[in-house]
Amino acid sequence: MTATIADSTVATVTHWIDNAPFAGSGERTAPVKNPATGAEIGRVALADVDDARAVIAAAAAAFPAWRDTSLAKRVEVLFRFRELLNARKGELAEIITAEHGKVHSDALGEIARGQEVVEVACGMPVLIKGGFTENASTGVDVHSVRQPLGPVGIISPFNFPAMVSMWFFPIAIAAGNTVVVKPSEKDPSATNWIAELWAEAGLPAGVFNVLHGDKVAVDELLTNPAIKGISFVGSTPIAQYVYATGTAAGKRVQALGGAKNHAVVLPDADLDLAADAMVNAGFGAAGERCMAISACVAVGDVADELVAKIVERAKTLTTGDGVKGSNADMGPLITREHCDRVTSYVAAGEAAGATIALDGRTVVAEGDDVADGFWLGPTLIDHVTPEMSVYTDEIFGPVLSVLRVESYEEALGLINSNPFGNGTAIFTNDGGAARRFQNEVEVGMVGINVPIPVPMAYYSFGGWKNSLFGDTHAHGAEGVHFFTRGKVVTSRWLDPSHGGLNLGFPTNS
């Protein structure tokens, strides 16, 4: 449902251009709701084509000067941004909790993981170094450099309003690109807060811009010739669309899609460790994580004991409003429609013959005025089989399915035949089995006795198969390569120049 700005009785989150809010000419808005209460707490502007072009034009205008700004000065701004974010991250966490619903501690964790990429980007002078060959031919030197692409677009999802865009923009900005971020219209305010922080850190106008909207805004980013690269995280169908449309328009595209992450529990595993991990990875952030474990594959005769341990632990979780100071472990789902969709999978699994070992549909949330919130408690479904929709589909909620298999080979076959290949984990005390698994499994990120194998920011994040479209993963070395392009220079100089005398201590400038 959309409305016009003239109809709005609450504050509207606007676009951001040249270090200032930009209302734009578009009249459409969408509601921003607190998922814990169901109340509308704001509206967000939905760009028309002219608005989108204005934001992109600001990024394009700022690019030449930012490209030519020295690495030393670029990194100086990155360091200031890092310090400001460390000092004020509590403010950002409160915004995330209010609009997304995840508990305050989880919001702080999201910011911390995003901050890791900022810290990696502070090392850009090392990451972007080229190579040099002296006297490759007589009197001829050859060197390589990496230069920024230009203005780039970042399209981020609702589930991590800060972290996912932070996978991309620190590297992009440090490498000399300008940025347009299109956040989810469901929880848009975190990105505007970040934009204000960049301005406070001294980032020049037009380097970091925010475009709010729906498909109109996305399509302009994908087709506008001023945008040279697109980074996207979201569902697989949209990732396919973004990749196809962006590449057809001649852009470099990295589009990270959906997931169906499995955790294999072998008979020799520490079942207490495995049960803890299943609860943490299955129900954290209400399961709205692309790295959430949604399929627990119990091998051999461990299933009964493992299921009992998971139920015992999950029953201790408190579901409620996740504001600062609350005792809630898990918050609501993002919208009423999404909550109803996730709940329908539980009913479908039960109708197909699975056993509901723990039913989150009856949860009573804690907090004030939460009766109209979008609640589903931790849900464990046992005796799931591969043809059930609760297994085949990405649910994106606090629903953990248990599949029972007889052997390692059967477990591996389940994972490798799945169309997704984002993350996986194995729980075992057998080093040989773990080593075999990490070699044979067809998934981009693997955990061994680690339930959510999100790599540190100096490694790259991304999956295989239908979980990634494009050849480049996020952040780390691959991220640096995505936001830069190589150039090789061959030179010959007949006579060295003489620069005269200067006894001052040399400095970067």
Name the helix (H) or strand (E) containing 262. Answer: strand 261-265
Which residues, at least 6 apart from 68, have a Cβ–Cβ distance to it below 8 Å? none
Of the candidates 31, 47, 88, 33, the one whose C-alpha atom is nearest the C-alpha of residue 180 is 47
Q: In degrees, to the nearest 5, what angle opens at C-alpha 323 toward C-alphas 39 and 41?
A: 25
Catalytically annotated residues: 290
The half-sphere exposure of 18 on its side-chain side, counting CA atoms within 13 A, is: 8
Which two three-digit tokens encode residue 500?
């005269």
Is 163 strand, coil or helix? Answer: helix
Looking at residue 6, its pLDDT comes to 44
pLDDT tens across 373-417, in order? 999 999 999 999 999 999 999 999 999 999 999 999 999 999 999
Q: What distance in Å separates the CA atoms of residue 324 and residue 477, rounded to the nearest whole number? A: 36
Q: What distance in Å separates the CA atoms of residue 339 and residue 373, rounded to the nearest whole number? A: 10
pLDDT tens across 254-265, in order? 999 999 999 999
Of the candidates 232, 259, 260, 236, the one whose C-alpha atom is nearest the C-alpha of residue 401 is 260
Q: How confident is the model at residue 4 (pLDDT cuts 50, 70, 90)?
A: very low
| Residues 345, 389 contacting (CB under 8 angstroms) | yes
**Percent of the chain having pLDDT more than 90?**
94
pLDDT tens across 161-191, in order? 999 999 999 999 999 999 999 999 999 999 9
